[in-house]
Amino acid sequence: MDNKDREQTERYVRAQKKVDAIKGFYIHLLVYICVNLFISIRKIMQNMDNGETFQEAFFDLGTFIVWLAWGIGLAFHAFNVFVENGVLGKKWEEQKIQEYMDEEKRQDWY
């Protein structure tokens, strides 16, 4: 395989990983919405059964805490997927891989 084919294959693999990461994020987002809607509706109904009005049940902190906590994790996931050169982005990852490969070459040399 010549250099051009290898580069094209590497680009394809990187693109495939990016698409998989985006797909994973959207699945995570869908699960987040569905599960939190179910939990919120259940929590609101329980609170209303305990004598609260709809407004009291809806604005109860317990209704929103799961959205908030899981939302923080979802935000980190989005940052990881959509921010190319974030704190631990792809550029950092590639630099570390190259660093470890160079280190291994030096060790093999001795």
Helix (H, G, I), strand (E, B) or coil at 63: helix
Q: What is the largest CA-CA distance in the chain?
A: 77
What pLDDT was estimated at residue 89? 67
CA neighbor of 29 nearest in space, from 77, 62, 65, 95: 77
Alpha helices in 2-89, H assignment, sequence order: 3-49, 54-58, 61-82
| Alpha-carbon span 105 to 85, nearest angstrom | 27
* Predicted pLDDT of residue 1: 61
Dist CA 104 CA 95 (whole Å): 14
According to DSSP, residue 86 is labeled S
Against a cut of 0.75, is the pTM above it? no
pLDDT at 95: 82
User: pLDDT tens per residue, the chain (110 residues)?
Assistant: 677 888 888 889 888 988 999 999 999 999 999 999 999 999 999 999 999 999 999 998 888 899 999 999 999 999 888 887 666 667 777 888 888 888 887 877 66
Which residue's structure tokens are 């891989």? 97
